[in-house]
Amino acid sequence: MWVPLHAVCLRSQRVCRRSVAAAVSQCFRHRDASVSHFSHSAGLSAQTCKALVYRTHGDPSRVVQLEGVELPSLGAKDVLVKVLAAPINPSDINMIQGTYAILPDLPAVGGNEGVAQVVEVGSQVKSLKTGDWVIPKDAGLGTWRTQAVLPEEDVISVPNDIPLVSAATLGVNPCTAFRMLSDFEDLKPGDSVIQNAANSGVGQAVIQIAAARGINTINVIRDRPEFTELSDKLKAIGASHVIKEEALRKHEIKELFKTCPKPKLALNGVGGKSATELLRHLQIGGSMVTYGGMSKQPVTVPVSALIFKDVKVRGFWVTKWKRDHSHDGRAFRAMLDELCSLIKQGKLRAPACTEVGLQQYHAALDTAMQPFISTKQVLVM
């Protein structure tokens, strides 16, 4: 099954829904040395799937192994799914390395995001049917595998007529972009947002969702030999302005603000000096929201920004948002419906992806860990 992170040791906010400790104790009582017995139910079937498993934290290319994993019996409120595709995200890498904010009990199956097709449903399942596409509701379900038996409540349906890579990459970056554009400032058509890491998965989603809402985006990227080509690509998906980081301190930014309103919202995925520069250009009372720290440098807030501009400095983590809203799924459902509508209208596309077979996971992991990669690695089962 997809091992649920809502039942790991670091999640102290609420009581676990099921005991992963008991499941893990059964995982490696092997009848066959090549088969791992991951289970969340008492009964075990003879059916197995292939999964990327790690038993210890470390270098993903060393600790992740492709293994046969035994599937549990289908319970009344469970669904059997066939995983179709699952991306390799930075959070996946960090989780395997043991550096992420939340970590599953070991052994664990890698992957926090992906799309699967329902193959069979339990007798009491009401919200899903055979053939439906589903994505995880929460992080840590272990999506790097061919099949899984899951509680109905752990997944949510998405349309099966959207592109496969769009469905597989829907639950993290587009949701992060959507919430940041919706929850921190009351943005109207004609307003502006400034962001660094504009060519990241989140950045591209911000550009497209903002464009669909009539919101200007000022997109900051580092200088590079292919800057013009990248700028053209971002403008093709809706970017209003694309500038180099060093331009934030030069006269050209003042010229830009003669025709474009100063931003109400700044989105920071880098940290360090880049974040400080974003703050300088916010409107009075505006917000900077930090969702990442690729530079691994702290965010420094000028005193003048706090005193004279009364800026708000906030943080956002989509996993926490999902968990905070898990008691009532209507907000999550409404967000997915709006995002999928944009996808169907051609207004929201997945970032560039390279589809890789599960057997080629070593190469995919190595590529995903390289700095400044231009495409997302997606495991196709």
DSSP letters, 42-98, are S-EEEEEEEEEEESS-S-HHHHEEEEEEEEEPPPTTEEEEEEEEEE--HHHHHHHHT
**0.85 exceeded by pTM:** yes
Token duo for residue 18: 């099921």
Q: Are 373 and 93 in contact (CB under 8 A)?
A: no
pLDDT given for residue 231 in this prediction: 94
Chain-centroid distance, C-alpha 175: 7
User: What is the C-alpha R_g of the chain?
Assistant: 22
pLDDT given for residue 314 in this prediction: 97
- Hey, what amino acid is at 313? V
pLDDT given for residue 374 in this prediction: 72
pLDDT given for residue 36 in this prediction: 55
pLDDT given for residue 140 in this prediction: 85
How many C-beta atoms surround the C-beta of residue 282 within 10 A?
Answer: 23
Q: Are 241 and 219 in contact (CB under 8 A)?
A: yes
How many C-beta atoms surround the C-beta of residue 190 within 10 A?
Answer: 10
Domains, the chain, ordered by start: 48-169+351-380 (3.90.180.10), 173-320 (3.40.50.720)
Instruction: Render 329-381 in DSSP notation, one character per residue.
Output: THHHHHHHHHHHHHHHTTS--PPPEEEEEGGGHHHHHHHHTSTT-SSEEEEE-
Active site residues: 100
**Closest C-alpha among 163, 25, 179 to residue 105:** 25
**Closest C-alpha among 296, 294, 289 to residue 268:** 289
How many C-beta atoms surround the C-beta of residue 296 within 10 A?
Answer: 8
pLDDT given for residue 249 in this prediction: 85
- Hey, what amino acid is at 111? G
pLDDT given for residue 89 in this prediction: 93
pLDDT given for residue 252 in this prediction: 83
Listed in sequence order, the residues at least 6 apart from 162 whose beta carbon sits closer than 8 Å to its beta carbon are: 340, 343, 344
What length is written for the chain? 381
Cα 141 from Cα 113, distance rounded (Å): 8
Element (H, E) at 232: helix 227-236
Structure confidence by residue, pLDDT tens digits, 299-329: 999 899 999 999 999 999 999 999 999 988 8
In order of 18, 20, 32, 40, 125, the CA distances from 44 in angstroms are 17, 15, 14, 9, 20
Q: Give me the residues of the chain with pLDDT under 70, please.
A: 1-46, 372
In order of 264, 349, 377, the CA distances from 170 in angstroms are 26, 10, 14
